[in-house]
Amino acid sequence: MIKFGSLALPARRCFSTCNVTCAGHNKWSKIKQKKGANDAQKGVVFGKAARDIVMAARSTTAYGGSPDPTKNLQLAAVLKRAKEMDVPKENIEKALAKASQGKDHNANTFVYEALAFNTVGLIIECATDNNNRTIHNLREILNDYGARAAPVKFMFRRVGYVTAHQTTNHELETKENAINELVGTAMDHGAVDFDNMNSEDAAPAYWFTCEPDRLHPLSSAIQEHHQTWTIGTSEFRYVPLEDSSEPSDETKADLRALIDELEANEDVVQVWSSLQDDVD
């Protein structure tokens, strides 16, 4: 059991923390770590940020689809992240205008599955206006690393993933009550796993996972705590199903290089690896 204050909560560990936080890789999450990022790298990030804004604004109504961030929590989270990554305001406004006007609505999204180094599954999420071009480019990159197309979805489970961050400082008792309320509400609205994201001296922040069809209801329920909590992330993730053996340092380095090259492709949205170890 995990206890917060006077409330005892069941620790339902369908997934481990590392499963959720380390298995996915994208340029957004790493750009802050690369302080010397050059203009080309920033251009890739800004371009992907604009695309993610459009995709979030055009998502189906069941997942909050709307160009209005007050009604679309996924869009609100993407906009928040874009601002944190110093995406120019003009870029953000153009992306929102494109989403509202329905421009370039021919973009297609799909998942490409691949096997690398004989044992590592890769889920490559793409958004493109030309599937053939994208698949050709992916195959070229994979071939350079001895990887190939292969069915690997059985190695993963698709989940909804939400993070909540406390926005104000509170006394210990009040803080514990706020956490109790947040976690209780999340569990009542579809969360199946959760954990603390911070060290003890940092402001409270928690991640939650749920079934894909519960992502919007869960995010909406958490957002009702807007006076104390803010949504940091609301998205779908692919989580490895089983523990994997410890890879060699060489395999980690090669996998990191492969993922970096895949992410550099403008049509790649996200890359997920079946390795539960952080290969950054």
**Whether 142 contacts 148, CB under 8 Å:** yes
7 has pLDDT over 60: no
Q: Is 70 left (phi over 0), alpha (psi -120 to 50) or beta?
A: alpha
Q: What is the pLDDT of residue 104?
A: 52
Give the other-Cβ count within 10 Å of 276's Cβ: 18
What confidence tier does 226 reach under pLDDT thresholds 50, 70, 90?
Answer: low
Q: What is the pLDDT of residue 64?
A: 53
**Whether 53 contacts 99, CB under 8 Å:** yes
What confidence tier does 235 reach under pLDDT thresholds 50, 70, 90?
Answer: confident
Please compute, for residue 11, the number of CA atoms within 13 A of its CA located in the half-sphere on the CB side: 8
Residues β-bridged to residue 205: 165
Domains and CATH numbers, the chain: 24-101 (1.10.10.200)
State the pTM of this model: 0.71
Q: What is the pLDDT of residue 2?
A: 40
Q: What is the pLDDT of residue 280?
A: 46
Q: What is the pLDDT of residue 108?
A: 81
User: Where is pLDDT greater, at 105 or 240?
Assistant: 240
Cα(184)–Cα(7) distance, integer angstroms? 9
What confidence tier does 229 reach under pLDDT thresholds 50, 70, 90?
Answer: confident
- Section 226-252 average pLDDT: 83
| Tens-place pLDDT, residues 157-192 | 999 999 998 877 666 557 788 888 999 999 999 999
| Tens-place pLDDT, residues 23-74 | 344 444 454 444 445 666 777 778 778 878 877 777 654 445 677 887 777 7
Q: Which two tokens stand for residue 51?
A: 């695309």
| Tens-place pLDDT, residues 80-105 | 888 888 888 888 888 888 777 655 55
16 has pLDDT over 70: no
Cα(2)–Cα(142) distance, integer angstroms? 43
What confidence tier does 259 reach under pLDDT thresholds 50, 70, 90?
Answer: very high
User: Where is pLDDT greater, at 194 or 17?
Assistant: 194
| Tens-place pLDDT, residues 102-160 | 555 556 889 999 999 999 999 999 888 899 999 999 999 999 999 999 999 999 999 99
Q: What is the pLDDT of residue 106?
A: 59
Residues β-bridged to residue 127: 109
Q: What is the pLDDT of residue 5?
A: 38
DSSP string for residues in 107-142: -EEEEEEEEETTTEEEEEEEEES-HHHHHHHHHHHH
